[in-house]
Each structure stands twice: as C-alpha cells, then as structure tokens.
Structure 1
C-alpha cells in the first residue's frame, strides 16, 4: 500500500500523520502517477485548518497533503489521450502530492521536458503558473510598470521574472531584509509597511499601470489607491478585498498549456523556481512547518522514491 502524509482532522500539526492508503484508481480523465517530487505550499497547511475556497468541495478525511507533483505515469484512466505509462509528467494534484502514488487530472498535467529537474517541475504548478495566469490576464504592453505587492513569496518571485521577460518594469514590495533578493529579480525594491503607497510613488514617479497583490488586507487597500483604473488590480491573497476595491481575484487556468509555457521559461533560463530546500517524504512534517512558520525562503520541495 502506498505511503502518504495526511491530516485526519481539521486543526493544527497534531492532526498530521503518515498513513498507508489503498492504491488510487484513476477514473475518467485521471492519471495514476508515481511521485518523484511534490511542492510544499501555504495552501497545504491552510486546508488542514479547514480552509477551502468559496464554492469548493468539502475535504474528505483523511486528506493527503500536496497540491502539485511531478512523477512517472503508472496507469491512465478512461478517456485519457496523449499520455501513456512511463511518461514523465507534472501537474496540479489538488490534494495528494505528499504520497508515493497520486492522481493527477490529465487536463491539468503536462509532459516534463527532459532538461527540467524533478524538483523544479514540482515547484511550477502553483506559484509559477499563478504568476503566469495573472500577467496573462493583465496583458500589459511592453514598457508598462507593474507593482508586485509581496514580491518575496513564491508567486511574487515568479511574477517578477516573467514580467521582466515580457519587457515590463517591476516594482516590488517586500521587507527591508529582502531588498537584495528583490533587486536580484530585476525589480525595484520598496519597503513594505505603513506608508508603502508614498514610497511606491517615489520609486515610480511615472506611476504604476497595474497591481498584482499577494498580501491582501490593509497593504492591498493602500496600494490600490495608486491606480486610476482599478480593473488593473488583481489579488491572489484577498479576493473579497480586491473586488470591493474594484479589482478581481487572479483567474487560474490550470491547463497543460500554461504548465508547458512556464516549463519552457525554466528550460530557457528565464525563470528560476528558486527551490532552496528539499526534504524526503519521511520529513514531510518538517517541510510543512518551515512553510507554515514562515521560515522558508524560495520554494520547498519533497523528494519521493
């Protein structure tokens, strides 16, 4: 029976444990994948607390952690085309990445390029693909300026790199301790905290053309005032707040085409997923604590098998 890291109730870390689960069976449109690597994300521990997106399905317990994974196809379900056992793939796990075997939706899974490392592939479906979706929706012309509010996190790091590749000017808010890191991404650093809007105005006297918010709350409200056209505001952290301010949430595509695009950027050397630390599956709890407690810098990935 395949081993997985699960939570058996909603609450804190005390609900987490390893479990031997029945072998998953791929239904229509699904792939059974032997996991080689799985990304660790804030949404993983948030779901353990009982969080779920509005309108999303209720979580069945025990629930396997992990929303992104890379591995080798073992079996394909009915109505699946373009995949066969032995294919190296990566994609959106939904739930289930922290496991020896998981199910991936074929529509949200892409073939892994040979030049793409397993750990990098597993780090792309959530953060990098979210950044790609946001910038695609904003569709800013070359030379425009985008403010990434919270550039130091996984989505912000990818957004800064992709935006620079698109010919955009990037201003990024982050703590003073992340100044050098922010500047290494090609972004103009602005210290986060009260008064951030005035500091952005000083750093970008020509104004900003769009805001990609990854913080929410009061920081979102403050930077929103920088925009004359609030439709150019998108948030991955505070959908309700963005809507109240005249903006919107990031619309996720979760398609193989987006995964192909971000993978190509990594292979071309344009995008660095910033995988800064890896843990074996046996240390999944420690990996999740590093993300939950805010000690991680860059992406953390579990290695499996």
Structure 2
C-alpha cells in the first residue's frame, strides 16, 4: 500500500484526509513513479470542489504534477526505463508516495535540476511557456503580464526575459521587490492601471498575458494596439470580446524538456517560496486556496 492525501467526497477541505491505496501496475502508456516532489496548484482544490467534473472514482489523491523515480514502465512506453528521474502530469494524484504519469506528457529530469524544481514545472510554468509562445513577441518588444506575482506570471516573466522581451507586470506594491527580481517592472493593479502601465512603458505594450481577468483586463487592454496578441488564462470570454483569445495548451514532454533546460541554464527559477512534507499537505493547499500564495509551493517527500 502507498500513502496518499486526497478526498473521499467532492466539496471543501473538510473532505480531505490521508488514506492508503494499492501501488498499481501502470497502464499502457504510463509510468509508475516513486514520488519525490509534487507541485501544489489552485487547480487542485478546484478539482476537489467538483468544479471540473465529478466523474472520477473516490477516494482520489490530490495533485496534478509530480517528479520522481520510475519504478515500473507500462506497455508501449518508449524512451523511459526503471530508475529514470522524470517529471510530468499525474493521472492519479501527486500528493502521494506513488503516482502514474502519462509518458507522452513526461520528461527526463536533468541532473542539475532538483526534484522540487521539476515538480513545479508541468502546470504553471508550462502554461506560461505556451502563452509566451502564443503571443510570440520579438526581442526588444514589451509584454504586459496582469498578475505577474503568481506561479504562471513569475514563469512567464522569466521565459519572456530569456527571449529578450521587456516585461511589465501588475502586482501589489508589497510585491515590488519580488517582481523586480523576475526582471520585470511592477505596476500596481486596480483602478487607473492603464495610466500606470503607460507611464511604465511609454513606448507602448506589444503583447498582453492576462492572469486576472475582469475590470483590470478590460482597462489594460486599452494600451495594447494589436489585440490578437492578448492571451488570457483567467477570463477567455472577456479576452475574446476584446479581440484576444484563451491560452492554447500544447502539453507534451517536449515543452517540459525545454522548461527543464531553462531551469538548468539559470534562465528560469521556478520561484519555490515554500516546501512542505507530505504530512503538511493540507496546510500547503490551504495557503494556495487562500489566494495569497506567492510563487510556487511544493510538497517534498521525506
């Protein structure tokens, strides 16, 4: 049996608990890993709440990204072997001692990248990578990131900067130092944000990545001349009405491999602000669910 932390009913955190589950033989196309680290994301509690469907059998372990060591390889899998250090999207929950990865959406972890750093990449950083690719700015252009202080925003700023793109990001004034560490210029969000963006980027904004939506997106869009370079993860309906689009996720091991390369080269820091043992998984998820977590939180297995 293998220890896991998850939920026995859909709803709030009162449904969370630890439980034991069998260590499975991986299905075709999958990898069974001994988990070394698991990322904590807002999507985790949204799944628990039932907001993304209630069809999965219960109990269910939390977590959608993990890094670890391959223990078994499913039928039809090529390019992976027992003992490989890997990371990717989990299919049965990463807040656990063991988890399954989809081999097509997994990648090898480079020796110079920690398990914690690798576990922080498959959701937020991969979303950021896809968004920056979709906006497709040339070096020297300026990208505006609404909500730059979170996991996706932090990664997007660094990925853009590695491509020679200038970054302006909205965040609370208390996060100014953090945003500057990302290589971005901080602008306070809220009413009047468009004027503050114009002051911070007097030569204009060439692309906009929205991670907030709502009023800030509607106001900030006024500074963007080419609305086709507006991409949103938070409010795709408003983005479409403004002439932009939702982020198009590509997934796949190739994207994860590129992200790991950026981490290994020093161009991308996953900005892990706290790590927790599995026994404190509820505490880590509660911090993320509060909406006040900065950077990335990761569970590290002892």
Q: What TM-score, normalized to structure 2?
A: 0.96
How far the C-alpha of 1:211 sits from its partner, in A, is: 0.3
2:258 aligned partner = 261
1:189 aligned partner = 186
Do residues 218 (structure 1) and 215 (structure 2) align?
A: yes
1:296 aligned partner = 293
Work out the CA distance in 1 between the residues paired with 2:147 and 2:68.
31
Work out the CA distance in 2 between the residues paired with 1:170 and 1:200.
11
How far the C-alpha of 1:95 sits from its partner, in A, is: 4.5
For this pair of structures, how many residues does the alignment match? 302
- Assess, with a 3 A threshold, how the Cα gap between structure 1 residues 175 and 94 changes in structure 2: closer, same or farther: farther
| 3-state SS of paired residue (1:225) | helix
2:88 aligned partner = 91
How far the C-alpha of 1:137 sits from its partner, in A, is: 1.4
How far the C-alpha of 1:288 sits from its partner, in A, is: 0.7
CA-based RMSD of the aligned residues comes to: 1.4
| 3-state SS of paired residue (1:106) | strand
Do residues 273 (structure 1) and 270 (structure 2) align?
A: yes
Work out the CA distance in 2 between the residues paired with 1:130 and 1:116.
19
Alpha-carbon displacement from aligned partner over 1:171-221 (angstroms, at most 9, x marks no partner): 100011111111121111110111111111111121111100111122122
Q: What TM-score, normalized to structure 1?
A: 0.95
2:7 aligned partner = 7
Matches within 5 A, 1:77-226: 77-226=74-223
| 3-state SS of paired residue (1:44) | helix
How far the C-alpha of 1:21 sits from its partner, in A, is: 1.1
Asked whether the equivalents of residues 10 and 54 of structure 2 are also in contact (C-alpha less than 8 Å), the reply is: no
Alpha-carbon displacement from aligned partner over 1:254-298 (angstroms, at most 9, x marks no partner): 111111111111111111111121111111111111111134222
| 3-state SS of paired residue (2:223) | coil
Structure 1: which 5+ residue stretches go unaligned? none
Asked whether the equivalents of residues 149 and 213 of structure 1 are also in contact (C-alpha less than 8 Å), the reply is: yes
| 3-state SS of paired residue (2:71) | strand
2:63 aligned partner = 66
2:31 aligned partner = 31
| 3-state SS of paired residue (1:156) | helix
Asked whether the equivalents of residues 37 and 303 of structure 1 are also in contact (C-alpha less than 8 Å), the reply is: yes
How far the C-alpha of 1:59 sits from its partner, in A, is: 3.3
How far the C-alpha of 1:34 sits from its partner, in A, is: 0.7
Asked whether the equivalents of residues 66 and 94 of structure 1 are also in contact (C-alpha less than 8 Å), the reply is: no
How far the C-alpha of 1:71 sits from its partner, in A, is: 0.3
Work out the CA distance in 2 between the residues paired with 1:236 and 1:5.
28
Asked whether the equivalents of residues 91 and 108 of structure 1 are also in contact (C-alpha less than 8 Å), the reply is: yes
How far the C-alpha of 1:245 sits from its partner, in A, is: 2.1
